[in-house]
């Protein structure tokens, strides 16, 4: 619940409204692409016993990432990352800049994490972009409907709006 602080309000609303079927309860524990996207960093930074990447790979990757974030992209990119918040815009900017400024590191990344893992991770990255789009553009259009719908539909819509916001890391403000 750390990454989903409004979850307790949803739990109370589910109990009060008797929305305790599996579908409605699943809305209280939604897919969070920002959390799913963050595991690739852990995978890339982990030291493997039998690794075929240079010994200084992890240090070089960290240096490259932080140089891009701190020196070129600044606080709007660095601060969320340091707070464990993964957002589509800052992540896209950092990945793009690392690829442009240090392209020679890419083969080592592929060796370290593997192509299948990168392909699997890509769906979470796309999901992060999709949730960012939904929270930024669809939320303002549909949010006014929350108070006009029957209570069960209102409960469901609120959970979707929360999932988009928190799943995109957009609850973090500089």
Domain boundaries, the chain: 7-167
Which alpha helices (DSSP H) does 33-144 contain, by range?
33-45, 57-66, 75-82, 88-101, 106-113, 115-133, 139-142
pLDDT tens digit at each of 174 positions of the chain = 445 566 789 999 999 999 999 999 999 999 999 999 988 888 777 777 767 888 888 899 899 999 999 999 999 999 998 998 999 999 999 999 999 999 999 998 888 888 998 999 999 999 999 999 999 999 999 999 999 999 999 999 999 999 999 999 999 987
Residues 6+ apart with CB under 8 A from 19: 13, 25, 152, 155
């Amino acid at each position: 619940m750390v990454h989903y602080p409004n979850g307790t309000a949803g739990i109370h609303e589910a109990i009060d409204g008797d929305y305790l079927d599996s579908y409605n309860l699943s809305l209280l524990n939604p897919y969070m692409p920002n959390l799913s996207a963050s595991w690739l960093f852990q995978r890339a930074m982990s030291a493997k016993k039998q690794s075929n990447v240079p010994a200084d790979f992890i240090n070089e990757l960290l240096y490259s990432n932080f140089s891009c974030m701190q020196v070129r992209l600044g606080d709007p990119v660095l601060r969320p990352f340091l707070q464990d918040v993964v957002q589509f815009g800052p992540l896209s900017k950092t990945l793009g800049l690392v690829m442009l400024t240090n392209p020679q590191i890419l083969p080592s990344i592929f060796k370290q994490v593997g192509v299948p893992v990168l392909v699997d991770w890509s769906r979470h990255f796309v999901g992060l972009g999709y949730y960012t789009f939904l929270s930024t553009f669809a939320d303002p259009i549909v949010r006014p409907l929350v108070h006009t719908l029957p209570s069960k539909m209102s409960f469901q819509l609120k959970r979707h709006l929360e999932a988009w916001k928190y799943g995109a890391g957009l609850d973090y403000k500089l």
